[in-house]
Structure 1
Amino acid sequence: MASKTLKGDLPELMENILNNLNDDIHSLHSCTLVSRHWCKMSIPILWQEPFLVERKPLFISNYFSSLGEYEKFFLKRCGINEEFSKTIFNYARFLKVLNLWKFKCKVDDWIELFNPSHNDDDISSYHITNLLIKLLIESGAILHKFRLCFSESLEFKPEIFYSLEQNVQFFSQIQHLSLVLEDLNIESATTWLRTLAKNVTKIKTLKFHEEDYNGHIHHVNDMLPLIHSFIYIIKSQEQLRKFCLFEVRYITKFHGIISALESQKKLITRI
């Protein structure tokens, strides 16, 4: 059986073995060197969750290998003058886990590699973050786990939401969704939630976390559009099993949340 596995004659068994190495990046890297078949099976797993804290940001260059001339010119205007080598794989397509805050931090780290004069508030961070998220959305990737952080320091262009509308597969299979409210941009947060509400029905775990690092207090009425979208997300789920609230300030003020959870009481096993 061992020889058959090495040759790739038992692909399902091989896939299970490699999936068990999902948290061991170094072992997965080693697997890519065993054979062409092992490489072909290991790479998608290795790139399921690339935006990890411990991972060096240079991998982001692989995403930019297929950019058109306009996008390359755009990067140069942002101080990125690198020529990116063509890659064998479409790495963006393998993405399954995305934490938007880690994503933003890793993009800033990548920019600093090529443009040391960059700082986190630089306009180049805004443009390159949007360029990469659009590339991921349009790559054919299908997310399984998504952590969405609503923050003033994480802004998205209107074209991102248009791209999401045109590439509904990106959100269609999300099973674990975390929503984090920080120094909140209510308009952006509401747009994200409305987009999710239209396309996500397979969530099993839904988490909601309110934070307020800047001490800013929002008027309850300002939160209404966001809360209504959140209620719709709860009600529209077909497989919801777990619902979590952390440090909430606003959301519990709305009885509609309780009503939405009651509508899911036959499915939810843990709150």
Structure 2
Amino acid sequence: MSSVSSFPNEIMQKILKDLFHYNTPYQPHYRDLFNCVLVNRQWCSLAIPILWTDPLRHMDVHSKPCDPIIITYLSTLNQVEKSKLNNMLGSITLFDDTIYNYPSFLKILNLNVFYMAISNFINSLDLKKRKEIFLRDHLFREMFNILTNQNANLKGLLITVDYPLCDLLPTLNHTKFGSLINPIKKMKFEIIENSQHILLFLAKNEYLELWQKTSHLSNQKGTIDNVISLLLNQYRLNGLKIGGFSKGIHQIISSLSNLKSTLSIIQFSHIDFSSCGSMNGLADCENLENLGFYCCENLTKVMWAPLLRTSMNTLEEVILYDTSADCIKEWSKRRHIKVLEDLI
């Protein structure tokens, strides 16, 4: 143990990160890292920032309260702000001080889980219903102030746009929320309802995932219009993944012409292309390096025709996972483009 503890912090940090993600990139080893916190001061100071990069990820907000995380974040407020909060919420127990600046460690934020955790925390205070709604929304905004004031540096954001987030997000401080999400390079955006308001807050991304949650969709045209508006507002988008948009996929692909100089990666997932016409927008993407189709259906030679007339000199590989598309394979082979099949 003494020899391991003598490793430089950079090496120890790499070891702990590898331990955290060992063989489980989607289910990190929180329990193992919790144990590392108890070893000594060095291990604790290195493990805590990793644990708090996405603190709500291992929490089931529906069955397990996230109150300790909310309390810890609120404890970073100054004494004046804590007094105001206690006057509003009643008697809540906050720490006088925190050993670490926990909000600064946050890297991944699921906005809906974050909102649900705050809502459950407010519900646990046994307040009157009207007061609950007001304080829930107030605390949601206050938590964003905490994240920005404590220099949180987000790398990824997941938003499932539904009520009440559609109504609540426009009330956030534009400057602070914008400064929080603008550095984000990877954003996953699940669209349920007409979500025009949220476009005001989306960062100018380098990588964007857009998913349509069809089981909840009530405004098909409004949703497609919002997706197109979102894409048109990007000016540095390098990678794009689109999932589930079977109806409206033709309009979305057509809008890619406006991103032709920046896009180098495009991936389609779980899309039925039967309603799609010619892929002119895709053919216009002059700097495309990677093109992927995952679990897609009904890709035809007619749709692919515009690409037959382009050289696609920059395209290096085409990925076809659980997707039957002989026209794409033939086209790729004639141009000596690598085709990867049945890869995740």
Judged with a 3 Å threshold, the aligned counterparts in structure 2 of structure 1 residues 11 and 76 are, in CA distance, closer, same or farther, namely closer
Structure 1 counterpart SS, 2:169? coil
Which string of whole-angstrom CA distances, capped at 9 and with x for unpartnered residues, describes residues 186-213 of structure 1?
22x12122xx02xx33x3xx31112366
User: How much has 1:73 moved relative to structure 2?
Assistant: 4.8
Query: For residue 237 of structure 1, what is the aligned residue in structure 2?
Result: 237
Matched AA of 1:192: F
1:134 to 130, 141, 145: 145
- Secondary structure in structure 2 of the residue aligned to 1:81: coil
Unaligned stretches of 5+ in structure 1? none
Kindly state the Cα deviation for residue 29 of structure 1 after the two structures are TM-superposed: 1.4
Q: 1:20 to 1:115 in 2, by over 3 A?
A: farther
Higher relative contact order (CA 8 A, sep 6+): 1
Matched, 1:64 2:66: no
* Structure 1 contact 4–10 (Cα < 8 Å) conserved: no
- CA shift, 1:255, in A, is 5.0
Q: Which amino acid in 1 is paired with 2:39?
A: V
- Alpha carbons 1:231, 1:260 under 8 Å: kept: yes
Gap runs ≥5 in structure 2: 21-27, 265-287, 294-344
Structure 1 stretch displaced more, 110-119 or 122-131: 110-119
> Cα 1:3–1:98, aligned 2, differ >3 Å: closer, same or farther?
same
Query: Is the CA contact (8 Å cut-off) linking 2:53 and 2:105 kept in structure 1?
Result: yes
CA deviation string 1:95-154 (max 9, x = no partner) = 011111111111122223333666997222111111112211332111122112222211
- State yes or no: 1:125 paired with 2:159: no
SS at match of 1:143: coil
Of 31, 34, 55 in structure 2, the residue corresponding to residue 26 of structure 1 is 31
Q: Which residue of the other structure, out of 182, 186, 194, is the alignment partner of 2:192?
A: 182
| Residue in structure 1 matched with residue 218 of structure 2 by the alignment | 216
Q: CA 1:126–1:217 in structure 2 vs 1: closer, same or farther (change >3 Å)? A: same
* 8 A contact 1:79–1:115 mirrored in 2: no
TM-score for both structures, normalised by structure 1: 0.79
**1:160 aligns with one of 168, 173, 176:** 173
- Distance (whole Å) between structure 1 residues aligned to residue 215 and residue 173 of structure 2: 26
TM-score by length of 2: 0.64
Q: 1:183 is paired with a residue of what secondary structure?
A: coil
Give the distance between the partners of 1:48 and 1:138, measured in 2 at CA: 17
**Cα distance change of structure 1 residues 252 and 90 upon mapping to structure 2, 3 Å threshold:** farther
Q: Which runs of 4+ in 1 moved over 6 A?
A: none
Bigger radius of gyration among the two: 2
Q: Identity of counterpart residues, as a percentage?
A: 20
Distance 1:75 1:157 in 2: 23
Partner Cα distance (2:220, 2:83) in 1: 40
Q: Structure 1 residue 232: deviation in Å?
A: 3.5
Q: What is the one-letter code of the residue matched to 2:174? A: F
Q: Which moved more, 1:113-122 or 1:79-88?
A: 113-122
State the match for 1:268 in structure 2. 290
RMSD, aligned α-carbons: 3.0
